[in-house]
């Protein structure tokens, strides 16, 4: 990956200067004490930033584990008997698990389809410059920037007339359309990093274009595909506007559910808080696991795109 290469680049210069560069990197001209003070300062600043960035989640968690009658008192109560009632109520009185399943199904289907469709196209674009490729790339860029309403409002009508309104299928199809342009954009940059000589060698060995793609290139692209897949999944998982227009009750997603809870009474709001946390927990894990790939993808995307 490009960023690893940069990290591992030798810091020393060659010849008789060898080693001197490295030594200088570790001791700043200001001396070790200021350098340590700076490090501590940077650490404190970062710790405060992290705390601030997490504060909405922490405050929600704090409110959700309070008993309902004191959950939203003003000024807030800081001494209470922690309870998981809100989670139990959420599970028992709402269709939360159904919304959660809908969200996951839609995200998984749309990610898989967008990848299967996007991979060959991105490969073709990376190997064969020409006006068709230019048009496709510019189209992908413009489609990425499009206001959702411009395509989703007509999709509402189309899905009604096809009889697929309020189905996970309709929502997944819409998300494939909306997210696929970006997958082409991302994947193309990863393909561009695979040397063409590999294609040629495989072709000489008797591979067809498709089998070469499947057996040689795609395995080489592993991290790139994971990155693109993670982004597609994330975007589908987060989508609210498309879901609120194309679904009603039976295939609503978690963001749609939470939006409908917003105007409700306090116990329901506490449930919405519990729902938010239940969705944040896996996402939290996701952030830790995925950071490496996300950064690699952003790197590739920004260098080329």
Partner 1 sequence: MRRREYAYLVAPSVLVMFGLLVIPLVRTIQWSFERVRYGQPGTFVGLDNYRDAVTDPRFLSAVSFTVAVTVAVVTVLVVGGYLLAVLVNGLVRVRPLVLGLLLVSYVVPGLIGATMFSWLFNDNFGGVVNQLISALGLPEVLWFTSTWANRALVAASVVWSLVPFSMMVILAGLQGVPKELLEAARMDGAGTLRTHWSVIAPSIRGVLGFVTLISIMDVLRLFDQLIPLSPQAVQIGNESLVLYIYNRAFLDGGQQLGLGSAMNVLLILLIVVMLLPFIRDTAREGRS
- The nearer residue to partner 1, 220 or 294, going by C-beta atoms, is 294
Q: Which residue has the tokens 């709001």?
A: 269
How many other CB atoms sit within 10 Å of the CB of residue 111? 25
Least Å distance between CB 172 and partner 1? 11
Least Å distance between CB 124 and partner 1? 4
Spatial contact of 185 and 137, defined as CB atoms under 8 Å apart: yes
Query: CA 226, CA 228: separation in Å to the nearest integer?
Result: 6
Least Å distance between CB 222 and partner 1? 19
Least Å distance between CB 259 and partner 1? 6
- The nearer residue to partner 1, 225 or 234, going by C-beta atoms, is 234
- The nearer residue to partner 1, 202 or 234, going by C-beta atoms, is 234
Least Å distance between CB 92 and partner 1? 21
Element (H, E) at 214: none
Least Å distance between CB 268 and partner 1? 13
* DSSP-derived secondary structure letter, 250: T
Q: Which residue has the tokens 């496709």?
A: 136
Element (H, E) at 192: helix 168-192
The CA R_g of the chain, rounded to the nearest whole Å, is 25
- The nearer residue to partner 1, 58 or 88, going by C-beta atoms, is 58
Spatial contact of 304 and 189, defined as CB atoms under 8 Å apart: yes
- The nearer residue to partner 1, 75 or 219, going by C-beta atoms, is 75
- The nearer residue to partner 1, 86 or 121, going by C-beta atoms, is 121
How many other CB atoms sit within 10 Å of the CB of residue 138? 10
CA-wise closest residue to 292 among 224, 237, 236: 224
Least Å distance between CB 88 and partner 1? 20
Least Å distance between CB 24 and partner 1? 7
Query: CA 239, CA 102: separation in Å to the nearest integer?
Result: 12
- The nearer residue to partner 1, 45 or 84, going by C-beta atoms, is 45
Query: CA 211, CA 220: separation in Å to the nearest integer?
Result: 14
**Cα atoms in the Cβ-side hemisphere of radius 13 Å centred on 28:** 10
- The nearer residue to partner 1, 14 or 205, going by C-beta atoms, is 14
**Cα atoms in the Cβ-side hemisphere of radius 13 Å centred on 239:** 33
CA-wise closest residue to 183 among 111, 289, 291, 239: 111
């Amino acid at each position: 990956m490009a960023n690893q290469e940069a990290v591992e680049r030798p810091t020393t210069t060659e010849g008789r200067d060898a080693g001197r560069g490295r030594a200088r990197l570790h001791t700043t001209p200001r001396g070790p004490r200021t350098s340590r003070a700076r490090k501590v300062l940077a650490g404190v600043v970062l710790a405060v930033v992290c705390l601030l960035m997490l504060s909405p989640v922490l405050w929600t968690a704090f409110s959700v584990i309070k008993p309902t009658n004191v959950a939203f008192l003003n000024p807030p109560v800081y001494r209470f008997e922690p309870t998981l009632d809100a989670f139990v109520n959420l599970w028992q009185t709402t269709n939360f698990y159904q919304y959660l399943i809908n969200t996951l199904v839609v995200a998984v289907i749309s990610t898989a389809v967008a990848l299967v469709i996007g991979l060959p196209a991105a490969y073709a674009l990376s190997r064969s410059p020409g006006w068709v490729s230019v048009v496709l790339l510019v189209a992908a860029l413009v489609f990425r920037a499009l206001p959702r309403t411009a395509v989703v409002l007509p999709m509402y009508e189309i899905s009604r007339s096809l009889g697929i309104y309020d189905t996970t299928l309709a929502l997944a199809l819409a998300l494939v359309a909306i997210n696929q342009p970006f997958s082409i954009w991302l994947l193309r940059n990863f393909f561009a990093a695979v040397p063409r000589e590999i294609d040629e060698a495989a072709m000489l060995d008797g591979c067809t274009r498709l089998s070469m793609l499947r057996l040689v290139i795609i395995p080489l692209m592993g991290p790139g595909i994971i990155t693109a897949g993670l982004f597609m999944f994330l975007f589908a998982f987060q989508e609210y506007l498309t879901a609120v227009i194309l679904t009603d009750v039976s295939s609503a997603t978690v963001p749609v559910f939470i939006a409908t809870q917003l105007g409700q009474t306090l116990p329901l709001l506490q449930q919405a808080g519990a729902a938010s946390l239940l969705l944040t927990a896996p996402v939290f894990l996701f952030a830790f696991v995925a950071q490496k790939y996300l950064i690699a993808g952003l790197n590739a995307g920004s260098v080329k795109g």
